[in-house]
Amino acid sequence: MSPTKDYALLCLENPLLDIQAQGNEALLEKYGLKANDAILAEEKHLGIYEDLLNNYSAKLIAGGGAQNTARGAQYLLPPNSTVFLGGVGDDKYAAILHDAVKQAGLRVEYRVDKKEKTGRCGVVITGHDRSMCTDLGAANHYDIEHLKSPEVWKLVEGATHYFVGGYHLTVCPPAIQALAEEAAKNNKVFVFSLSAPFISQFFKDPLDASAPYWDYVIGNETEALAYAESHGLETKDIKEIAKHLAALPKANSKRDRVAIITQGTLPTVVAEKGEITEYPVHAIEKSMINDTTGAGDAFAGGFTAGLVAGVPLAQCIDQGQWLAKLSIQELGPS
C-alpha cells in the first residue's frame, strides 16, 4: 500500500471492554434482553457483568465498535497511521485495553476519568444471536475539552481522514460536530457509522445534525431499516434507503456522498450519485465461522484503510469484506 502520513486516520467513539459468553434463554429473560440487540444498560442490567464472569466463564475482549474499526484499519496500514480517541477509567479494564491496542499498533489518546469505571459491554451469545448490553461508564464522560486540548487537536489537524462511530452520539455530539466541521472546512474525509438501530430511533436529532458532514456512511441492513422507519421513509428496500442516505443534503459539496449498507452474507449495497452497485461478499464455509461479532466493524476498518491509502472505491469495499471475513474466523472482534 502507498505510504501515508503519520496518523492520517483519527477515530472517535467509546472504548469498551467486551465481557462475552455463551448464554441461554434464562439469562436473557433474567435481564429482559432480546436475543439479537444492542442497548444501553439500565439499573436492572448492571448485575449482568459479574453474572457473566462468575457463572458463564465469560471472556474479556477489547471492544467498542470504532476502536475495533481503528485496530482493523491500522492492521492494513503502515505503522503509526491510526489514532483513536475516547474515554476510559483508571482501572484494570483500561489496562487490558491498552495492552490490546498496543499489540495492534494502534495509538490511543484516552480521556482518563478518575471516578468512573471503564465502559463494559456484556455480550450474550445464544446460537447465531448476540445480545449486547453496554454500561458506558467513563466512555460517557468524554468531552470536547479533551478533543480541543492542544496535543489532541494537533492530531486532529494532522489527520486527513476521520472515522466517527454513531454510538458516540449518545456521549458527546459537540466533539462529533467539531470533527465534522473541521473535515468540511478543509475538504478532509469524514466517515460515519450508523452503529445500531437504537441510534436512529432515539438519537435522531444529533444524528441528523451530523448527516450533512458524512462523506461515507456505513451501516448494516437493520440499521438502514431503523433509519428509514425513524425518518418516515416509506420503504423497506435497502437500495432505496441507501440512495436516500447518499442524497441527503451535504455540507462539503466538493465530495459526493457514498452510502454503504452491508447485509451479512448478502451483497453489500453501495449508493453513489443516484446509482446502486452491489458487491457480493467473500463466501466462507460455515464451519470456518467462529464468531460474527464485529464483522461490520472489521468491514469498516478494511474499507476505511482503503480510503486512507487512496485506492478505488471497489477495492475499498473488497478490502472491507476481506477483513470482515478474516475477523469472523476469530473469537471476538479480532
- Give the residue numbers annotated as catalytic, written as ranges: 297
Q: How far is the CB of 185 from ligand ADP (least distance, A)?
A: 30
Q: How far is the CB of 168 from Mg ion (least distance, A)?
A: 14
- The site partner of 328 among ligand ADP, Mg ion, none (C-beta below 5 to 8 Å per kind) is ligand ADP
Q: How far is the CB of 196 from Mg ion (least distance, A)?
A: 7
- By CB under 6 A, name the binding residues for ligand ADP: 220, 262-265, 268, 281-282, 284, 289, 292, 295-296, 299, 321, 324-325, 328
Calculate ∠ Cα 224-19-41, nearest 5°: 60
54 vs 287, beta carbon nearer ligand ADP = 287
80 vs 263, beta carbon nearer Mg ion = 263
Q: How far is the CB of 223 from ligand ADP (least distance, A)?
A: 7
The position carrying cell 425513524 is 230
How far is residue 41's CA from residue 47's CA, in Å, rounded to a whole number? 10
Q: Tell me the Ramachandran region of residue 57: left when phi exceeds 0, alpha when psi lies from -120 to 50, beta otherwise.
A: left
The residue range among 52-60, 150-158, 176-184, 212-220 that interacts with Mg ion, by the rule CB under 5 A, is 212-220
Interface with Mg ion, residue 158, by CB under 5 A = no
Interface with Mg ion, residue 264, by CB under 5 A = yes
7 vs 303, beta carbon nearer Mg ion = 303
Q: How far is the CB of 1 from ligand ADP (least distance, A)?
A: 20
197 vs 296, beta carbon nearer Mg ion = 296
How far is residue 292's CA from residue 75's CA, in Å, rounded to a whole number? 19
- The site partner of 289 among Mg ion, ligand ADP, none (C-beta below 5 to 8 Å per kind) is ligand ADP
How far is residue 1's CA from residue 11's CA, in Å, rounded to a whole number? 20
Q: What is the dihedral of CA 201, 202, 207, 209, to 10 degrees?
A: 120
Going by DSSP bridges, is the β-strand pair 258-263/216-220 parallel, antiparallel, or unpaired? parallel
Interface with Mg ion, residue 280, by CB under 5 A = no
Query: 110-137 burial, b if ≥16 CB within 10 A, otherwise e?
Result: bbebeebbbbbbbbbbbeeebbbbbbbb
How far is residue 188's CA from residue 57's CA, in Å, rounded to a whole number? 44
Binding region for Mg ion (CB under 5 A): 220, 264, 296
